[in-house]
A and B are shown apart, each in its own frame.
Chain A
Amino acid sequence: MPFDDLTLLDDDALLLLYSAGDPAAARILTERLAPRVHAHAWRLLGDAAEAEDVTQEALLRLWKIAPDWRQGEAKVTTWLYRVTANLATDRLRRGRGRGVALDAIPEPEDGQPSAEARMQEADRAAALQEALATLPDRQRQAVVLRHLDGLANPDIAAIMDLGVEAVESLVARGKRGLAAALSGMKESLGYNDD
């Protein structure tokens, strides 16, 4: 491995370099973490602009605690997912985000010939996003972390400060809620007519 290839370093090592004043570490960490944080925030909020604000705020908090970061105690991504979820929850409780998300989801247009044509990839994603918005905050967070961000249950347990069994329970309840919401959506949109 070339000694100057910082992209091969893990987040902890890069954060150490960042706090030591290395500008390359700042760039690599931002490019590595910002898209992940943004995607997670968008899945929780359903709104790109809100997600961008949350991403900027979460990263700002990371930069500020970088000099005091304790190496090896927690993963940087675990900390970031937790901060992102807290910021997103705050916004949702203030009544922002979710309403915008529902407005932003494209509605299936009338007059299309079949359910297959309407339920294309983007529509499915939009439907899931809308269904996610109907879940309680913790269930939504657990489902997003497990099935969209692809994290393992122990990692989710660390992020949500829960036991693994509690995470499994939240995910299971969340999926039941999603299935019910999606089923209701399909019926209301007439997807079962074919």
Chain B
Amino acid sequence: MTDHDRKPDDLDIYFDAARSAAPALSPAALDRMTAQALAVQKEFAAPPVARRAPRRGLLGQLLATLGGWPAVAGLATAGVAGIWIGATPPAMLINIAVDVGAVSDTAEDDLYLVDTQPAYVLSLDLTEGS
């Protein structure tokens, strides 16, 4: 049967022929496309092994335990302030100490202020001579 004998709308013979007629992609083109796929992949692929976090030294571990640099700075400030207050106590603090501890007005207070170890001079003697 020739094509002339076929019905005008009988396209299957053409489709059958065309299905096998598409030119094959050349091996060189396929290699080029594979290389392109690998090149793009390298741009976004995650590294196979995650980078390890650097190890902390002894000072770093201590800092981390205390809460980091901000916490340590607060501690240092508090320490310096304590030394400063201890070395040069403000007059107000002395007055408070005198009022609270060193002098008693009543016999009841005296009971709490008994010096159990008179050999040691540890009591506040700031009122002496006043």
How many A-B residue pairs lie within 8 Å, measured between CB atoms?
124
Shortest Cβ gap from A135 to chain B (Å): 12
- Considering the complex, give the chain B residue whose CB is closest to the CB of A131: B14
Q: Are A148 and B24 in contact (CB under 8 A)?
A: no
Cβ-neighbour of A178 out of B11, B25, B29, B48 (below 8 A)? B11
Q: Are B40 and A63 in contact (CB under 8 A)?
A: yes
Compute how far the CA of A117 lies from the CA of B93 in the bound complex, rounded to whole angstroms: 121
Q: Are A52 and B21 in contact (CB under 8 A)?
A: no
SS of A interface (majority): helix
Contact of A162 with B by CB under 8 A = no
- Considering the complex, give the chain A residue whose CB is closest to the CB of B38: A26
A48-97 residues with Cβ-Cβ distance < 8 A to B are 48, 51-52, 55-56, 59-60, 63-64, 66-67
Shortest Cβ gap from A97 to chain B (Å): 14
Q: Are B4 and A115 in contact (CB under 8 A)?
A: yes
Q: Which chain A positions have C-beta within 8 A of B25?
A: 34-35, 38, 52, 55
Contact of A183 with B by CB under 8 A = yes
With A21-B48, A52-B29, A128-B18 known to touch, is A194 a contact of B40 (CB < 8 Å)? no
Contact of A182 with B by CB under 8 A = yes
Q: Are B17 and A125 in contact (CB under 8 A)?
A: yes
- Considering the complex, give the chain A residue whose CB is closest to the CB of B45: A21
Shortest Cβ gap from B99 to chain A (Å): 74
Q: Are B30 and A31 in contact (CB under 8 A)?
A: yes
Q: Are B11 and A122 in contact (CB under 8 A)?
A: no
Interface string of A147-176 (1 = CB under 8 A from B): 110100000000000000000000000011
Cβ-neighbour of A60 out of B2, B19, B40 (below 8 A)? B40
Contact of B121 with A by CB under 8 A = no
Known: A128-B11, A186-B3. 9 other contacts (CB 8 A): A27-B38, A30-B33, A55-B33, A56-B32, A56-B36, A119-B3, A124-B18, A125-B20, A128-B18
